[in-house]
Structure 1
Amino acid sequence: MPSQEPTPLASIVLAAGKGTRMKSERAKVLHPLLGRPMLFYILDALQEVQVERTVLVIGHEADQVRQVCGPAHRYAEQTLQRGTGHAVLTALPSLEDFEGRVLILYGDMPLLTGAILQELYAAHLASGDDLTILTADAPELRDFGRIVRLPDGHVERIVEARDCDPAEYALREVNLGAYCAKVGLLREFLPRIGSQNAQNEIYLTDLVALASAAGRPVGALQTADLESSLGVNNRADLAQAGLVLNRRMLHRMMLDGVTVLDPGSTWVEPGVRVGPDTEILPGTMLSGQTVIGTGCVLGPHTRVVDSRVGNRVRIQHSVLLQAEVEDEATVGPFAYLRPDSRIGPGARVGDFVEIKNSVIGAGAKVPHLSYVGDAEVGSRANIGCGTITCNYDGTAKHRTLIGEGAFIGSNTSLVAPVRIGAGAATGAGSVVVRDVPAGALVAGVPARPMHRRDEACHSADGQAPNRGEES
Structure 2
Amino acid sequence: MQTLILAAGQGTRMRPLTEQRPKPMLPVAGQPLVAHTATAAIDAGASRLVLVVGYEAEAVRSFFGSEFKDVPVDYAVQDQQRGTADAVRAGATKLDNKPFAVLNGDNLYDGESLAKLFDRGPSVGSYQVASPSAYGVLDIEDRQVTSVIEKPDTPPSNVINTGAYVFPAAAQGWLDVDSSERGELEVTDVLNRACEETAVTAVPLNRWLDVGRPWELLEANEWKLEECRRQINGEVHADAELRGPVIVESGATVDAGVVIEGPARLQAGATVGPNAYVRGATLLGPETTVGHSVEVKNSVLMEGATVGHLSYVGDSILGRDVNFGAGTTVANLRHDEAPITCPVKGELVSTGRRKFGVVCGDAVKTGINTSLNAGVVLPGGATTAPNETILKSAANRR
**Aligned residues of 2:21 and 2:56 also touching (Cα < 8 A):** yes
Letter matched to residue 259 of structure 2:
P
Answering whether residue 174 of structure 2 is matched by residue 189 of structure 1, we say yes
Equivalent residue, structure 2, for 1:217: 199
Letter matched to residue 175 of structure 2:
L
Please list the CA deviations of residues 172-204 of structure 1 after superposition, one character each: whole Å capped at 9, or x if unmatched. Answer: 22111111122x22223223x221x22222110
93 and 174 in structure 1: CA distance in 2 versus 1, 3 angstrom threshold? same
**Equivalents in 2 of 1:16, 1:50: separation in Å?**
23
298 and 140 in structure 1: CA distance in 2 versus 1, 3 angstrom threshold? farther
Equivalent residue, structure 1, for 2:104: 106
Distance apart, 1:153 and its partner CA: 4.6
Letter matched to residue 219 of structure 2:
Q
Equivalent residue, structure 1, for 2:183: 200
**Aligned residues of 2:133 and 2:153 also touching (Cα < 8 A):** no
Equivalent residue, structure 2, for 1:341: none
**Equivalents in 2 of 1:63, 1:116: separation in Å?**
30
**Equivalents in 1 of 2:138, 2:147: separation in Å?**
6
Equivalent residue, structure 2, for 1:134: 125
Answering whether residue 158 of structure 2 is matched by residue 172 of structure 1, we say yes
Letter matched to residue 206 of structure 1:
D
Q: Of residues 243, 249, 253 in structure 2, which corresponds to 1:281?
A: 243
3-state SS in 2 of match to 1:17: coil
3-state SS in 2 of match to 1:205: helix
60 and 203 in structure 1: CA distance in 2 versus 1, 3 angstrom threshold? same
**Equivalents in 1 of 2:112, 2:251: separation in Å?**
26
**Equivalents in 2 of 1:165, 1:140: separation in Å?**
11
**Equivalents in 2 of 1:289, 1:112: separation in Å?**
29
Greater relative contact order: 1 or 2 (C-alpha under 8 angstroms, separation 6 or more)?
Answer: 2
318 and 212 in structure 1: CA distance in 2 versus 1, 3 angstrom threshold? closer
Equivalent residue, structure 2, for 1:44: 39
Answering whether residue 134 of structure 2 is matched by residue 146 of structure 1, we say no
**Equivalents in 2 of 1:233, 1:218: separation in Å?**
27
**Aligned residues of 1:102 and 1:180 also touching (Cα < 8 A):** yes
299 and 118 in structure 1: CA distance in 2 versus 1, 3 angstrom threshold? farther
3-state SS in 2 of match to 1:51: coil
**Equivalents in 2 of 1:50, 1:298: separation in Å?**
46
Query: Any gaps of 5 or more consecutive residues in structure 2?
Result: 68-72, 235-240, 278-283, 287-291, 293-398
Distance apart, 1:106 and its partner CA: 0.3
Please list the CA deviations of residues 412-447 of structure 1 after superposition, one character each: whole Å capped at 9, or x if unmatched. Answer: xxxxxxxxxxxxxxxxxxxxxxxxxxxxxxxxxxxx
287 and 178 in structure 1: CA distance in 2 versus 1, 3 angstrom threshold? farther
**Equivalents in 2 of 1:291, 1:101: separation in Å?**
45
Answering whether residue 118 of structure 2 is matched by residue 121 of structure 1, we say yes
Distance apart, 1:63 and its partner CA: 2.0
Q: Of residues 3, 6, 18 in structure 1, which corresponds to 2:10?
A: 18
Aligned counterparts, 1:370-385, within 5 A? none
Letter matched to residue 100 of structure 1:
K
Letter matched to residue 81 of structure 2:
Q
Please list the CA deviations of residues 74-96 of structure 1 after superposition, one character each: whole Å capped at 9, or x if unmatched. Answer: 1110001111011101111101x
Aligned-residue RMSD, C-alpha: 3.8
**Equivalents in 2 of 1:56, 1:50: separation in Å?**
16
Greater Rg by CA: 1
**Equivalents in 2 of 1:247, 1:16: separation in Å?**
28
Aligned counterparts, 1:365-404, within 5 A? none
**Aligned residues of 1:139 and 1:174 also touching (Cα < 8 A):** no
Q: Of residues 229, 242, 247 in structure 1, which corresponds to 2:221?
A: 242
3-state SS in 2 of match to 1:176: strand
216 and 234 in structure 1: CA distance in 2 versus 1, 3 angstrom threshold? same
241 and 93 in structure 1: CA distance in 2 versus 1, 3 angstrom threshold? same
Letter matched to residue 214 of structure 2:
R
Distance apart, 1:142 and its partner CA: 4.2
Query: Any gaps of 5 or more consecutive residues in structure 1?
Result: 1-8, 125-130, 259-267, 273-278, 308-314, 323-333, 335-471
41 and 289 in structure 1: CA distance in 2 versus 1, 3 angstrom threshold? farther
Equivalent residue, structure 1, for 2:325: none
Please list the CA deviations of residues 86-114 of structure 1 after superposition, one character each: whole Å capped at 9, or x if unmatched. Answer: 1101111101xx243312100001x3122
Letter matched to residue 103 of structure 1:
A
**Equivalents in 2 of 1:119, 1:188: separation in Å?**
25
Structure 2-normalised TM-score? 0.58
Aligned counterparts, 1:24-103, within 5 A? 24-72=19-67, 73-95=73-95, 98-103=96-101
Please list the CA deviations of residues 116-173 of structure 1 after superposition, one character each: whole Å capped at 9, or x if unmatched. Answer: 211211233xxxxxx20011233434422111135x5521210111xx242xx25222
Letter matched to residue 136 of structure 1:
Y
67 and 105 in structure 1: CA distance in 2 versus 1, 3 angstrom threshold? same
Percent of residue pairs identical: 25
3-state SS in 2 of match to 1:56: strand
Distance apart, 1:41 and its partner CA: 0.7
3-state SS in 2 of match to 1:134: strand
Equivalent residue, structure 2, for 1:230: 209
Distance apart, 1:247 and its partner CA: 1.6
**Equivalents in 2 of 1:107, 1:306: separation in Å?**
25
Aligned residues: 265
Answering whether residue 147 of structure 2 is matched by residue 157 of structure 1, we say yes
Please list the CA deviations of residues 224-267 of structure 1 after superposition, one character each: whole Å capped at 9, or x if unmatched. Answer: x2xx3211112111011111111222xxx3xxxx6xxxxxxxxx
**Aligned residues of 1:105 and 1:177 also touching (Cα < 8 A):** yes
**Equivalents in 1 of 2:135, 2:149: separation in Å?**
9
